[in-house]
């Protein structure tokens, strides 16, 4: 990922590719206009009598001056050119980017929640269906249709390198679509104010070569790996009993749908919607003290004993 992960001055996908030249065009036109107006203003003001106050103002006689109307007309005429060009280019770009693509190779359902992203694959085919959170994998070069659902309040789905923003609104389904040109990790962010942790509702789109994507998908389809050690066994019990109140781990008793799916937790690079790298230390810290890290998040601090914490950690880290 680049040093400026959310910049939209570079594009890595079809839809963003269409938008970017228009962005640059309008930006350059805008900068030029500012420079020209600044120059006009400066040369006009430069001729002024300086060091003035009321007396200096009165000292300069009032004169009717030249009509000047044609300068307004000239200005309007010159302005019309970039305005018209932008208008036409905009209409073309709207047509090209509105989408959604006629034949998407993949369809996802993304639901915005306070403050995480629920991602469901294969919603229409139960045996191909699985859920993950905050990290979206797509095959390179394939148009991907994303159906956007409103979970609670309005959020906005945005991955600047790949596509512009589309809101998730309760009561309706919106559509976005992305197609990555090359493999890579692309940062995204919620961009509609949605409450106290709006600042920490990021996501990642991972574009992979099709073969890698298929491997990833196949792995995600599998249920959770059975516990192998006694620590993992004990951890599973805690997870089912406590975490299962909100989270799902497919293949176990933990089956609630209010929070991110943990079945393949360790396959994700970050925790808490892009806030923390997914390391053992961060994982434990998050479970213990989510409220310090992301105050207001809907995950309460878990008052687990030290032993329970170790066991849970052991189990969760087995969920590759």
Partner 1 sequence: MRAVDFRSPTIGSDSPEHAARLERLWESSRGLKGFLGTVDHKQIGIRYIITAFIFLALGGIEALLMRLQLAGPNLSLLTPEQYNELFSTHGMTMIFLYASPILSGFSNYLWPLLLGSRDMAFPRLNALSYWIYLASGIFLYVGFLTGNGPNDGWFNYVPYAARDYNPGLNEDFYSLGMVFLGISTTIGAANFIVTALRTRAPGMSLNRLPILIWGTLTASAANLVVVPAVSLAFFMLWLDRQFGTHFFDPAGGGQPLLWQHLFWIFGHPWVYAIVLPAMGMVSQGLPVFCRRPLVGYAIVALSTVATMVLGFGVWVHHMFATGLPGLGLSFFSGASIAIVFPSAVAVFAWLATIWLGRPVITTAFLYFSSMILMFVVGGVSGFMTASVPVDWQLTDTYFVVAHIHYVLIGINVFPVLGAVYYWFPKMTGRMMDERLGRWNFWITFIGFNLAFLPMHVTGLLGMPRRVYTYPDGMGWDSLNLITTIGSFVLAAGILLFLFNVLKSLRSGAIADANPWDAPTLEWSVPSPPPPYNFAVIPTVASRYPLWEGRLGGRGSATSLDRGMLLESGKETVATSSMDATPDMIVEMPEDTTAPFALSIGTAVLFVGLLLKTWTVAVIGLLLLSAATLVWLWPRRELREREARP
- Residues in region 214-243 near partner 1 by CB under 8 A: none
Cis peptide before 115 (omega within 30 of 0): yes
Nearer to partner 1, 165 or 217 (CB): 165
Residue with token string 């799916």: 261
Nearer to partner 1, 251 or 295 (CB): 295
Pairing of strands 202-208, 135-139: parallel
- Residues in region 20-39 near partner 1 by CB under 8 A: 22-23, 26-27, 29-31, 33-34, 37-38
- The CA dihedral of 206, 208, 214, 215, to the nearest 10 degrees, is -80
Residue with token string 């396959």: 267
- Residues in region 145-204 near partner 1 by CB under 8 A: 148, 150, 152-154, 156, 158, 160, 163-167, 169-172, 174-175, 189-199
Shortest distance, position 116 Cβ to partner 1, whole Å: 15
Residue with token string 């989408």: 99
Q: How many Cα atoms occupy the beta-carbon half-sphere of 195 within 13 Å?
A: 16
Cα–Cα nearest to 187, from 134, 118, 266, 148? 134
- Residues in region 250-309 near partner 1 by CB under 8 A: 275, 295-296
Nearer to partner 1, 3 or 126 (CB): 3
- Residues in region 71-110 near partner 1 by CB under 8 A: 71-72, 74-76, 79-80, 83, 86-87, 89-91, 93-95, 97-98
Nearer to partner 1, 219 or 257 (CB): 257
Shortest distance, position 236 Cβ to partner 1, whole Å: 33
Cα–Cα nearest to 201, from 183, 218, 189, 211? 189
Tell me: does residue 125 bind partner 1 (CB under 8 A).
no
| Choices 61-69, 206-214, 248-256, 309-317 (CB under 8 A): range interacting with partner 1 | 61-69
Q: Which residues, in sequence order, are bridge partners of residue 203?
A: 188
Shortest distance, position 258 Cβ to partner 1, whole Å: 15
> Going along 122-259, which residue ranges are E strands?
130-133, 135-139, 144-150, 155-159, 163-168, 173-178, 184-189, 202-208
Nearer to partner 1, 32 or 222 (CB): 32
- By CB under 8 A, name the one of 12, 13, 14, 18 that touches partner 1: 18
Residue 136 and residue 170 in contact, taking contact as beta carbons nearer than 8 Å: no
Nearer to partner 1, 41 or 222 (CB): 41
Shortest distance, position 101 Cβ to partner 1, whole Å: 14
Nearer to partner 1, 51 or 126 (CB): 51
In angstroms, the Cα distances linking 119 to 148, 156, 281 are: 10, 14, 25
Query: Which residues does 63 contact at the CB level (< 8 Å), separation at least 6?
Result: none
Site size toward partner 1 (CB under 8 A) is: 99
Shortest distance, position 130 Cβ to partner 1, whole Å: 26
Nearer to partner 1, 243 or 273 (CB): 273
């Amino acid at each position: 990922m680049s040093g400026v992960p959310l910049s939209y001055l570079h594009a890595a996908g079809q839809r963003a590719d269409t938008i970017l030249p228009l962005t640059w065009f309008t930006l350059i036109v805008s900068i030029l206009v500012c420079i020209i107006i600044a120059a006009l203003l400066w040369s006009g003001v430069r001729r002024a009598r300086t060091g003035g106050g009321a007396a200096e103002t009165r000292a300069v006689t009032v004169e009717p001056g030249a009509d000047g109307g044609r300068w307004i007309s000239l200005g309007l005429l010159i302005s019309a050119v970039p305005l018209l060009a932008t208008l036409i280019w905009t209409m073309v770009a709207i047509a090209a980017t509105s989408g959604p693509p006629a034949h998407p190779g993949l369809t996802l359902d993304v639901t915005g929640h306070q403050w995480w992203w629920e991602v469901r694959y294969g919603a229409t085919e139960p045996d191909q269906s699985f859920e993950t959170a905050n990290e979206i994998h797509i095959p390179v070069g394939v148009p991907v249709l994303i159906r956007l659902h409103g979970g609670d309040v309005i959020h906005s789905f945005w991955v600047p390198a790949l596509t512009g923003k589309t809101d998730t609104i309760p009561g309706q389904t919106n559509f976005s679509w992305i197609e990555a040109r090359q493999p890579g990790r692309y940062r995204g962010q919620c961009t509609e104010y949605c409450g106290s942790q709006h600042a920490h509702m990021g996501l990642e789109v991972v574009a992979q070569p099709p073969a890698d994507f298929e491997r990833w998908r196949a792995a995600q389809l599998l249920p959770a790996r059975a516990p192998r050690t006694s620590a993992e066994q004990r951890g599973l019990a805690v997870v089912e009993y406590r975490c299962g109140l909100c989270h799902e781990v497919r293949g176990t008793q933990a089956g609630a749908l209010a929070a991110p799916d943990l079945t393949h937790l360790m396959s994700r690079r970050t925790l808490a919607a892009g806030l923390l790298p997914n390391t053992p230390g961060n994982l434990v810290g998050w479970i213990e003290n989510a409220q310090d890290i992301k105050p207001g998040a809907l995950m309460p601090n878990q008052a687990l004993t030290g032993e329970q914490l170790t066991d849970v950690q052991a189990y969760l880290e087995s969920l590759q």
